[in-house]
Amino acid sequence: MPKYDINVNGITKSVDVAEDTPLLWVLRDHLDLLGTKYGCGIAQCGACTVHLDGNAVRSCSLPIASVAGQKITTIEGLSEDGGHPVQQAWKEVDVPQCGYCQAGQIMTASAFLDKNPNPTSAEIKTAMHGNICRCASYTRIHKAVEIAATKIG
Amino acid sequence: MSTSSITFNRRSFIRTSSLASGGLLIGFNLFTACKPKVQPPVDISQLNFNDFNAFIKIADNGAVTIFSPNPEIGQGVKTAMPMLIAEELDVAWKNVYVQQGILDTENYTRQLAGGSQSIRLGWEPLRQTGATARQMLVNAAAAKWGVDPSECTTSEGVITNAKGETLGYGDVVKEAAALEVPENVTLKKPKDFKVIGTDAPNVDIDKIITGKPLFGLDYKVEGMVYASVLRPPAFGKILDSYDDTKAKAMPGVLDVIRIGEKAKELSKEGVGNWTVTLGKSDKVVVIAKTTWEALKAKEAISATWVDDSTLESTEFQDKQLLGLLDGKEFKTLRKDGDINKAFSQADKILERTYESPFLPHNCMEPMNFFANITDEKIHLVGPVQTPEFAATAVAGMLGRDVKDVHLEMTRMGGGFGRRLYGDFVYEVAEIANAVKKPVKLVFSREDDMTAGTYRPAIKYRIKAAIRDGKVSAYHLKEAAIGGNMYGLIPNFFPAGAIENYQVDVANYQSNITTGAWRAPYTNFLAFAEQSFFDELAETMEVDRIQLRLDLLEKVKGTTDERIEYSPERMQNVIKVAVDKSGWGKKADGIYQGFAAYYCHNSHVAEVADVEIENGMPVVKKVTCVVDCGIVVNPLGAKNQIEGGVIDGVGHAMYGDLTFMEGQPQSQNYDKYRLIRMGEIPVVESHLIQNEIAPTGLGEPTLPPAGAAVANALKAATGNRFTQQPFSKFPELMQVPAKAIIG
């Protein structure tokens, strides 16, 4: 099997996997980075969201061969200790119910706020529309993104 | 009215012991029907829960650890249940560390998550436990000082005597552990609560926001392999043969095996408690080094399936259910007076039929479980709402002693009823038993949606008689797939309010597996009945709120013990909802719909506001008023309310699983619509303040949401929705020209 060098959370790691292996499973099964979640496998739910060169992407649908040479950030690498403004806002609002989708929500929100630190409510709704929360903690997700924006902006 | 009370003998549910490491260990039984025999272990490392299903550990330095025994599925019990202990123990909540307990398969009956009952049943015993521990610590301090315990007070883990001297809990735990367990302790009055009623964030919040492994899918051990299971493509088909040549040649694949033999044991009496085996077919399992390799190789197996029973389609099932409603074969669950006589004497009769589809649970974390089976031990780890049933069934199917089973519960990425059924535990047990390796079974999303224990498709037909301006008869008929409403549901409102009242049920046994889904039966029954009451008010030309209030008035003072809802509390939530929602006072262009419902021991009223955007009705806001008694954790409670309401709106609007020749027609989120951020209403929640013992919140706000929306859509469009999901009927969403102008 081919060998790939990938840069995850600032560290270059070498993995030996089939070229079509989705980044999600490389992170979870090969690198033990379990914060990125499997939800649907077809880029429809957002649970697997990570940053690729600062953009929010669905790692379940990104073959490992397509990410070489790019900077990957997972929830584990978003901050040292949960201190990113988006993580802090999530804590302040007490967003989670079951909590499973929240890493993906946080990764989508943080990439979005990097590009648009002063969003309108409608822009938040559009940005977060791709991430499903089955517990429907959407009201709090929306509020947390607003609060994070005030911390960042 | 009947309210279940919890009685227990304190001696049998609290035991204490010193810890070898210093500190005090208090073991307690959360619920009744326990059979405690064994003393709690002195060494914390020996903690095996064979006697007590929950523990409080107080260290020398005063730090408090509470082991929470019930599974956490997002309903917040891992936070709220320990809060009850901390309140009476009189410690600061910020100093309490909560840890998930493991399963005791032998001695306990309710270590499960379901029915919104954890807080209601834990209210008394958990506070008693905290109060007993506190009293023992006080007694130990008083003995040390040589004063009477009644002279001592406590606050945030510190004991103070009349002279103002203080001792921390940690200073006296050793002595306390040697004392008799006091028989009579006084519980705090609600006005003295310091922890209960305060906002406590989710105890796992830091782990969740930093992506720490918490869930079943995150559990890993050295040498673990992954399993992916190929199940029949349609309900009614069973496995004939398969060719695994291609799959076996794929990278990472270790083995391909056939399972099903052991699962047959589950159908034997006494083995599979509450089992859903998802059909009797054998299954093909790919064992691989990684999840992806297992899932991918499964696609490469070519299997031949044969028809074993009818391959049902939605159209066929609809005919069956309507046939049942038109027929005469019913089981009567409640009968008051004589409905036939009342119908024959009626001035007017209203009859409506309401129809609901199957729904998959769609937990965000797909079904999965870990097993490692050796001659010594059956080690099971993962997300399951009913760990006891799963452990017992696994032991039974493998012909093993249940004492060999060691089951650890992980945090669950949603439950909604799906994880009440242990099919995935039985599957992984059979696999692990065969491969003799630690193995993790992982469902793909497609596996999860197509091998479900679905909310059954149900149809209700409701008929009411009106005579002299009053509702003189009410006849509810249910035709359901798989099972029927149960317990006290037939005694919910309007039972007791209408003289001639009857509930009849009929059932079609399909081969499609069905089960509990958040607020079982009431999740659709509330929609049917609360839609019907709106139509009834329109037919009677009376105010829709007043009609409900008047009917509730008749239930006051009832001596019927089956009636567990409170007409007073129901009337109150209705009145508060009317007030808070601005009912009847909204500007033109805002169309409101009302619904009120009692289930899972809580009373709820909701008002949905619909506005017209781009010519289409949109649910903009839901005002939700809840009376669930004392609110333990308002922060968590409001999260449950917001989630329950949006879940109810979402499934009423979009949720739909149809079948074609036994095959589910949606297999993933590209063809199954769940509500998303852009579609949510604002949820304004109001909790009634009172001093009544608390009841559950995981389910009760969902059922009325669909009816509130349907009633608001009627106001906006003039059209009545009797079938879910509403989005399936775009023609009814057409807004009359006057509404667009308005």
Domain ranges of chain A: 3-77, 85-152
Tell whether B372 and B417 lie within a shared domain: yes
Tell whether B177 and B99 lie within a shared domain: yes
- The CATH number of A3-77 is 3.10.20.30
pLDDT confidence bin for B99, thresholds 50/70/90: confident
CB contact under 8 A, A38 and B366: yes
Q: Please tell me which residue of chain A has the smallest CA distance to B413.
A: A100
Question: Could you tell me if residue B597 is inside a domain?
Answer: yes
> Using CB atoms within 10 A of its CB, is residue B400 exposed (0-12), middle (13-18) or buried (19+)?
middle
Tell whether B116 and B263 lie within a shared domain: no
Tell whether B590 and B693 lie within a shared domain: yes
CB contact under 8 A, B202 and A38: no
Nearest chain A CA: its distance from B642 CA (Å): 7
Question: Closest Cα partner for B130 from B205, B59, B185, B189?
Answer: B185
Name which of B223-237, B381-395, B425-439 the model is least confident about: B381-395
The b/e string for B565-588 (b: 16+ C-beta within 10 A; e otherwise) is bbbebbbbbbebbbebbebeeeee
Q: Which fold has domain A85-152?
A: DNA polymerase; domain 1 (1.10.150)
Question: Could you tell me if residue B554 is inside a domain?
Answer: yes
CA dist B217 and B400 (Å) reads 26
pLDDT in tens, A5-18: 999 999 999 999 99
pLDDT in tens, B471-487: 999 999 999 998 899 88
Inter-CA distances, B285 with A109, B29, B246, B725, Å: 38, 40, 14, 36
pLDDT in tens, B64-87: 888 776 677 777 878 888 899 999
Which of these three, B393, B428, B450, is where a domain ends?
Answer: B450
CB contact under 8 A, B445 and A39: yes
Of A35, A135, A140, the CB nearest to B74: A135
Tell whether B176 and B275 lie within a shared domain: no
Q: What is the CATH number of the domain that holds B399?
A: 3.30.365.10
Count of structural domains, chain B: 3
Residue B514's pLDDT is 92
Tell whether B554 and B665 lie within a shared domain: yes
Name which of B82-86, B608-612, B617-621, B727-731 the model is least confident about: B82-86
Does residue B144 carry a pLDDT above 60? yes
Q: Kindly state the DSSP code that residue A29 receives in the 8-state scheme.
A: I
Q: Which residues of A touch B223 (CB under 8 A)?
A: none
Tell whether B442 and B383 lie within a shared domain: yes
CA dist B607 and B595 (Å) reads 7
Inter-CA distances, B672 with B359, B448, B451, B657, B668, Å: 10, 13, 15, 8, 6
Mean pLDDT computed over B400-426: 91
Q: Which residues of A touch B646 (CB under 8 A)?
A: 136, 138-139
Question: Could you tell me if residue B469 is inside a domain?
Answer: no
Which residues does B229 contact at the CB level (< 8 Å), separation at least 6? B259, B283, B284, B285, B286, B298, B427, B431, B441, B443, B447
pLDDT confidence bin for B392, thresholds 50/70/90: confident
Between positions 69 and 88 of A, the ones with CB within 8 A of B are 74-76, 79, 81-82, 87
Tell whether B248 and B177 lie within a shared domain: no
pLDDT in tens, B260-310: 998 888 877 666 544 455 568 999 999 999 999 999 999 999 999 999 999
Mean pLDDT computed over B432-445: 98
Q: Kindly state the DSSP code that residue B455 receives in the 8-state scheme.
A: B
Q: Which residues of B touch A29 (CB under 8 A)?
A: 226, 290-292
Beta bridge partners of B609: B592, B621
Mutate to test the interface with A, among B78, B116, B209 (most CBs of A within 10 A): B209
CB contact under 8 A, A97 and B76: yes
Measured between CB atoms, does A134 come within 8 Å of chain B?
yes
Tell whether B143 and B221 lie within a shared domain: no
Measured between CB atoms, does A126 come within 8 Å of chain B?
yes
Task: For chain B, give the mean pLDDT.
Answer: 89
Question: Could you tell me if residue B729 is inside a domain?
Answer: yes
Residue B652's pLDDT is 98
| Residue at A143: amino acid letter | K
Question: Mapping DSSP to helix (H, G, I), strand (E, B) and coil, where does residue A45 land?
Answer: coil
- Rounded to two decimals, the ipTM of the complex is 0.98
Mean pLDDT computed over B178-196: 90
Of A21, A125, A134, the CB nearest to B363: A134
Inter-CA distances, B75 with A80, A99, A138, B118, B637, Å: 29, 11, 15, 10, 9
CB contact under 8 A, B220 and A32: yes
Residue B101's pLDDT is 64
Nearest chain A CA: its distance from B451 CA (Å): 15
Mean pLDDT computed over B716-726: 97
| Residue range(s) defining the domain that contains residue B365 | 216-309+361-450
Q: Please tell me which residue of chain A has the smallest CA distance to B200.
A: A94
Question: Could you tell me if residue B513 is inside a domain?
Answer: no
Question: Could you tell me if residue B612 is inside a domain?
Answer: yes
Q: Which residues of B touch A81 (CB under 8 A)?
A: 210
* DSSP alpha helix (H) spans, B515-623: 522-540, 544-553, 567-581
Does residue B24 carry a pLDDT above 70? no
pLDDT in tens, A82-140: 999 999 999 999 999 999 999 999 999 999 999 999 999 999 999 999 999 999 999 99
Tell whether B195 and B221 lie within a shared domain: no
Question: Could you tell me if residue B61 is inside a domain?
Answer: yes
Tell whether B125 and B241 lie within a shared domain: no
pLDDT in tens, A61-88: 999 999 988 999 999 999 999 999 999 9
Mean pLDDT computed over B348-354: 98
Tell whether B179 and B267 lie within a shared domain: no
Question: Could you tell me if residue B508 is inside a domain?
Answer: no
pLDDT in tens, A19-34: 999 999 999 999 999 9
